[in-house]
Chains A and B, each alone.
Chain A
Amino acid sequence: MNDLRRRLVRSPVALVSVSILGLMLLLALFAPWVSPVDPGAIDIRTRLTPPSWMDGGSSDHVLGTDNVGRDVLSRIIHGARVSLFVGVATVLLGGIFGSVLGLIAGYFRGWVETVIMRLVDIQLAFPSILLAVAIMALVGPSMMNVVIVLSIATWAPFCRVARGQTLQVCNQEYITAAEALGLRDWTIMWRHVVPNIINPLIVVASFALATNIINEASLSFLGVGVPPSTPTWGGMLGEGRNYLRIAWWVSTLPGIALMLSVYSVNMLGDWLRDVYDPRIGD
């Protein structure tokens, strides 16, 4: 852990990424206290007020207001909650599910492996966002549905990586030794396999996190994600796109927030991959 921290301080890109994500996380956690006004408060009279530094801007709304007069800054802050929550929840759900299946497939081999890996192939044959849109159109918009649907779209890569790594680890002599000692399968898997396959999975998780943040925004943009009453970055992009010509800030600013978050997660993932890759030493 100390080693990780030392490496982090030495990498400016990773440091900036972590700072941005940390800030987003803080904003998300403390959204009700840090956002200037209620993100749902509609005031149709002051709609499309520009950001405070522009002509006609007001200090009441630092980043301006949207098409029904809601405060853009407050909505971006609250939108961070949805993006990060959905991102983290889907990666945890889909990631754990996929990894466990991959571990089982790689450890037990045989027909179990065949069944699981064919399922992975089937899952990967569908474009994930298309599948998500189709399911969401059927079940209707809600936060829980988004999490479930995106988890389904997430598990397969974890399963593949977990299986591959497990296969590799199981060829090692210490596994044979553990078996010779008479340890039970579950104990071997938990004590000796999992710790040795976790690092690549963390890298997969970082990329899945970025993808799912974008997927959630895409679903909300299309109007099949989180219900419109909940502020989300994707929803803001969608609602503001008709106003790009007369009020660019409505969709541009949440777009920037989305871009920064995803970029940071990706950079961090890149960095983590380098750190965990034994072939790239320092």
Chain B
Amino acid sequence: MRNLFRALTFSLALMIGGCSSQGDLTVANSTDISTMDPFGMFSRVEVAFGDHLFQSLTFFNKDMEVEPLLATSWERLEGDTTWTFQLREGVRFHNGAIFNAETVKFSIESYYERNAAGRTVGGASVAIPSADITRVDILDSLRVNISTSSPKALLPFYLSQMWMIDPGFYTDASDADRAENPVGTGPYTVSERIRDSHVALAANPDYWGSAPKAARVIWRVIPEVSTRIAELETGGVHLVTDLPFDQAALLDDTPGVHVARISGGRRVMIGITTSGGPEPLKDKRVRQALNYAIDFDAISEGLFSGQVDRMSYMFNPPYNHPTLEAYNYDPAKARKLLEEAGYPNGFELSSLDTPLGKWIQDFELAQTIESQLADVGVTLEKGVRTYEWGNYRGKLLSYDLPGLFMQGSGGEFELLTEAADLTITSPSNFYRWENDEYEELWDELQAALDPDRRQEIGYRMQEIVHEEAPWIFLHIQPDVYGVSDQIDWQPRPDEIIHLWDVSLTL
């Protein structure tokens, strides 16, 4: 009898063990993967997700360096505007199509054609105009020449943002097809997608590289912080993003999970519509006044245990301006500037708009800022207005948030892509800010190869933005992740989550 009992227990243990070791590696984000169209995935979460399905010629790794991926090597030819890329052999798309020089030509040309037609190009929206590729020439099936309009020292980096896609599928695919059936060369394929719930990825059996460590990866959407935390604690998910400081403190004492903190690159600010919006905001003195009205020390103490400083620069290291001083809290100066601008009694704006839960404690930030602005006479008729992220994103991209709006700009840790956001032609210039000197510097920066000169231009740009204040400077978002002890995962400063080399243990 005892033996029977033992045998039963043993087999039960085997069953349980068997189930768990097949467990899915699950990550929970606050926002959904709104599309799987390689030209439509745009936010950091979507781009990170897309990297599991699609690959580029080069790869921007966790040390913020460029390394080979679908291209094995590259060299710059004389004249500096043409590069030769050697492609990887034996790579196949999810549908069995072969990756070769044709693919590269098709993919890059597709990006440029779409961009020229004013259609979305997803995560490559900055890389495309910056790289300004003029032609792709096929040398043989595994070698291409890529030419740019002028010397581009960062071409390999830009190419890390452009995914390679299968011409056979994407030439005629409808928009719905693109959104639902991604065909790439990546280590995972999509096995299930339920909108606003999750996307399940399964390891690609024909992957050219070493097989991903977890056979299945689930990307879940859980908008509420408290629910994300509860799921992590009960083992439903293994990695959760965007934790506020006070909630993360709960996890410090929870067995089986730990908190990973990293100083990220996402710059959080209150965007100001500088043209085409409310009249007072067109005056830079008013915008400076709004900056002086913010008591950031109080915000830092209340929301971030005093560990976060106010942002003084706008480009992430190593391009950050070393001596610029952040706006300090000076309500008297704010009132004086408002008076100089002709608003001695302040003025009223319609609202301060924010998504709910997209950026860490966005709603609390917005409410606090509303009250601090009211102290210097700038009031909001409709107060803080909140939106669901998908809706907010649409309004942001169509400039439909005139006045003050919460904005968090993801860090790429690359001067060009970060500087591009404030050029008048950029779709990310939500502030509709235009400055002649900035545009001149931008033109020069795109061609500049000398690192010292680039650095200098970057510094000057930051001085201009600091002075012109197209936004209320807040802070660099501290990225706080909740991580299960079952996975060995380290955060990247650019918020990108790559899971193919993460294994799930018991």
Residues of A within 8 A of B (CB): 40-48, 67-69, 223, 227-229, 239, 241-246
Contact = CB atoms under 8 A, between A and B. Distances in A.
B68 interface: no
A42 B368 contact: yes
Given A67-B364, A228-B386, A242-B226, A48 B299 contact: no
A44 B370 CA distance: 12
Interface of B: 224-226, 229, 246-247, 249-250, 298-299, 301-303, 356, 363-364, 367-368, 370-371, 382-384, 386
Given A69-B302, A242-B247, 9 more contacts: A41-B371, A42-B370, A43-B298, A44-B298, A48-B246, A227-B382, A229-B370, A243-B226, A245-B229
B283 to A, nearest CB: 26
A16 to B, nearest CB: 35
B383 A44 contact: no
A271 B162 CA distance: 72
A100 to B, nearest CB: 35
B226 A228 contact: no
B302 A241 contact: no
A229 B384 contact: yes
A42 B250 CA distance: 25
Contacts of A245: 226, 229, 247, 250
B226 A244 contact: yes
A239 B298 CA distance: 20
A68 B250 contact: no
Given A42-B367, A45-B298, A241-B226, A223 B386 contact: yes
Nearest to B295: A44
A42 B365 CA distance: 11
Nearest to B233: A245
B303 A242 contact: no
A239 B225 CA distance: 12
27 contacts: A40-B371, A42-B368, A42-B371, A44-B301, A44-B302, A44-B364, A45-B298, A48-B246, A69-B302, A227-B382, A227-B383, A228-B367, A228-B383, A228-B386, A241-B224, A241-B226, A242-B224, A242-B226, A242-B247, A243-B226, A243-B246, A244-B226, A245-B250, A246-B246, A246-B247, A246-B249, A246-B250
Contacts of A229: 370, 383-384
Given A44-B364, A68-B364, A242 B299 contact: no
Most buried by B among A223, A241, A242, A245: A242
B386 A44 contact: no
> DSSP majority for the B interface?
helix
Contacts of B303: 44, 47
Nearest to B382: A227
Nearest to A41: B371
Given A68-B368, A228-B386, A246-B250, A45 B302 contact: yes
> DSSP majority for the A interface?
loop
Contacts of B226: 241-245
A69 B246 CA distance: 14
A228 B353 CA distance: 12
A144 to B, nearest CB: 14
Contact of A44 (B249, B356, B363, B368): B368
A69 B356 CA distance: 19
A47 B249 CA distance: 15
A228 B364 CA distance: 12
A243 to B, nearest CB: 8
Contact of A228 (B247, B298, B384): B384
Contacts of B298: 43-45
A44 B367 CA distance: 9
Contacts of A244: 226
A239 B384 CA distance: 13
B226 to A, nearest CB: 5
Contacts of A239: 363
Most buried by A among B247, B356, B371, B386: B371
Nearest to B230: A245
A246 B226 CA distance: 10
Contacts of B246: 48, 243, 246
- Going nearest first, the 6 A-B pairs with the smallest beta carbon separation are A44-B302, A229-B383, A42-B371, A44-B368, A242-B226, A68-B367
Nearest to B300: A44
Contacts of B384: 228-229
Contacts of A43: 298
Given A40-B371, A42-B367, A47 B383 contact: no
A44 B383 CA distance: 17
Contacts of B382: 227
A45 B301 contact: yes
Contacts of B368: 42, 44, 68
Contacts of B247: 242, 245-246
A45 B302 CA distance: 4
A48 B305 CA distance: 13
Contacts of A42: 367-368, 370-371
A242 B246 CA distance: 11
Nearest to A223: B386
A207 B189 CA distance: 55
A40 B368 CA distance: 11
Contacts of B364: 44, 47, 67-68
A243 B382 CA distance: 26
A239 B301 CA distance: 20
Nearest to B224: A242
Contact of B299 (A44, A67, A241): A44
Contacts of B370: 42, 229
A36 to B, nearest CB: 18
Contacts of B363: 239
A43 B375 CA distance: 12
A243 B229 CA distance: 11
Contacts of A241: 224, 226
A67 B247 CA distance: 12
Contact of B302 (A47, A227, A228): A47
A54 to B, nearest CB: 16
A40 B356 CA distance: 20
Contacts of A228: 367, 383-384, 386
Contacts of A46: 302
A170 B132 CA distance: 86
B383 A242 contact: no
A247 B232 CA distance: 20
Most buried by B among A42, A48, A239: A42
A137 to B, nearest CB: 11
A232 to B, nearest CB: 13
A244 B224 CA distance: 12
A239 B356 CA distance: 11
A220 to B, nearest CB: 13
